[in-house]
Amino acid sequence: MKARDVMTAHPSVITPDDSIHRAAQLMRDRHVGMLPVIDNLNDRRLRGVLTDRDIVVRCMAAGHDLTCAVREHMTARHLTTVHVDEEVSAVAHKMRRDHIRRIPVVGDDEQVAGVVAVVDIATRLRPADPLLVEGIERDVSMPAEAGG
């Protein structure tokens, strides 16, 4: 099974110039905890990700307001992504290794194709591979080691 088989296709996205307020509204309205940050709506090339945790920790807790641009609080370096044709086992490995619950899926042109969340893998794979799903859920819930 490939990433394309378990991903949520055509995810909601945000641009670096959009406001944190707009991002928070999208997350609320679409019931998501992460938005891929793309260069623009035509090209849809991945530039980073913004999570609900980024908004709380990097923006609100730091005393910023919701008018800040997404670019000021998004994660742009050391992004973990998967290709649409990667095996789900590779997706699971990256999630476990990097302690992440959601991972952007890109095509050959680095265009955002979808997002795979732990829940996507759990709903589609639990009956076939319950130990893999249990391992992902356990490992992404553990804090990453300092410096790693």
The pLDDT tens digits of the residues spanning 16-75 come to 999 999 999 999 999 999 999 999 999 999 999 999 999 999 998 888 988 999 999 999
Query: What SS3 state is found at 49?
Result: strand
* pLDDT at residue 128, rounded to an integer: 60
Does residue 127 sit within a domain? Answer: yes
Which residues span the domain enclosing 73?
Answer: 3-141
pLDDT of residue 147: 37
Predicted confidence at residue 144, as pLDDT, reads 55
Q: Cα(80)–Cα(77) distance, rounded to whole angstroms?
A: 9
Q: Which residues have CB under 8 Å from 148's CB, separation 6+?
A: none
Residue 59 is assigned to a structural domain of this protein: yes
Identify the DSSP state of 73.
T
Structural domains counted in the chain: 1
Is residue 92 predicted with pLDDT exceeding 80? yes
Task: Give the lowest-confidence range in 28-37, 103-112, 127-136.
Answer: 127-136
Q: Which has more confidence, 119 or 143?
A: 119
148 within some domain: no
Structural domain contains residue 23? yes
Average pLDDT, whole number, for the chain? 88
CATH of the domain at 22: 3.10.580.10
Domain presence at residue 76: yes
Tell me the pLDDT tens digit for each residue of 74-86: 999 989 999 999 9
Q: Of 58-67, 97-106, 123-132, which has the strongest mean pLDDT?
A: 97-106
Residue at 10 is within a domain: yes
Is there a domain that residue 146 lies in?
no
